[in-house]
Amino acid sequence: MLLAATLGLMLLGVAVGSTGWSPPWSAGGDALARQIMWDLRAPRCLGAWLAGALLGLGGAVGQGLFRNPLADPYLLGSSSGAALGVACFLALVGVSPTSTLLLIRLGITGAAFVGAVAAVMLTLVLARGVEHTLRLLLAGVVVGVVLGAISALTMLMVPDIMRAMQAFMLGTTGFLGWSSVMLLWPVLLLTLLVAWSASRALDAISLGDAAARSLGVRLNVVRAGLVGALALATGTAVAQAGLISFVGLVAPHLVRSRVQSTHGPLLLLSALTGGVLLLAADILARWALAPQELPVGVLTAVLGGGYLLWRMRRMGGAA
């Protein structure tokens, strides 16, 4: 069902533009229309799906690693680190018209990735490794708050970057192209393989650290590998699409609400669900107020937050 939904949304996404609905087969011999569909819309749709899949996978890894259903991919401070990296880059380079769009875009992407990975590394240093998940969790919260405050201070000191920062922090898929796709899919494949190889260990960790050790799980090695995969997945997704809220948190919950499974299928299904969610949100963001476009991060936050509130109300009613 998820693969069918992905295919249907891909076809719909290629057909949706600033002028509304235009099916791919309607381009006919119009070279410009074909170029818009296959050079702009197609990589944007595929890139949005890949970024959402990375966030969904990251959410499932984080929730399994910390045994916390409220864990999201940004739990170790990667989002605040990415925001600080972008803020520092814009403050140094500036957003003047003389700066080329390509240079700015490549610089923002690199700064966001470096900032996200650096934030996770700082969290590991403060937590003194991955031995204690509670200490790692608290260090991630502290790093996120502190780096977020520094980002806000940077924007206050250099107000010219606020508009560009706002676009990044609200999330956007408008800059995704074939180069982004060629970067996202190998990262998704690599992180999925790493997470899948640790799926049995995650099953054991869900029983507690003592039970996992008794089953022969090398906790430090497994946690280090999963934290590395989480940092790579979130850093790459944020660098390409900005700060997308709630996709990584909601995707594993959607899967668990439909199927009961071990972590192996859960990781794969969460990735597929995350891709479907972000792709659907991107299409809706383009279509709802065409020719204007809604920030996709705002849309995912509203819809994802609404879903979680509905789930909480339903669970409370059942209790």
pLDDT in tens, 231-285: 999 999 998 888 898 899 999 989 988 888 889 899 999 999 999 999 999 998 8
The phi, psi pair for 17, rounded to 5°, reads -135, -170
Paired tokens of 32: 């410009």
pLDDT score of 53: 96
Mean pLDDT of the chain: 85
pLDDT score of 35: 76
pLDDT score of 293: 82
pLDDT score of 81: 92
pLDDT (tens digit per residue) in 76-90 = 889 899 999 988 888
CB of 282 closer than 8 Å to CB of 296: yes
CA-closest candidate to residue 50, choices 170, 164, 168, 177? 177
CATH topology of domain 46-318: ABC transporter involved in vitamin B12 uptake, BtuC (1.10.3470)
Q: Quick one: pLDDT band at residue 39, thresholds 50, 70, 90?
A: confident
Q: What residue ranges do the domains of the chain occupy?
A: 46-318
Distance CA(65)–CA(44), nearest Å, equals 31
Q: Quick one: pLDDT band at residue 109, thresholds 50, 70, 90?
A: confident
Residues 6+ apart with CB under 8 A from 286: 16, 17, 18, 293
Give me Rg for the CA atoms of the chain.
20
CB of 62 closer than 8 Å to CB of 250: no
Distance CA(79)–CA(168), nearest Å, equals 11
pLDDT (tens digit per residue) in 117-157 = 999 999 999 988 877 888 888 999 999 999 999 999 998 88
Helices (H), the chain: 2-15, 31-35, 42-66, 78-93, 101-126, 133-157, 162-170, 178-197, 199-205, 209-214, 219-241, 247-258, 263-287, 296-318
The stretch 191-209 carries a mean pLDDT of: 91
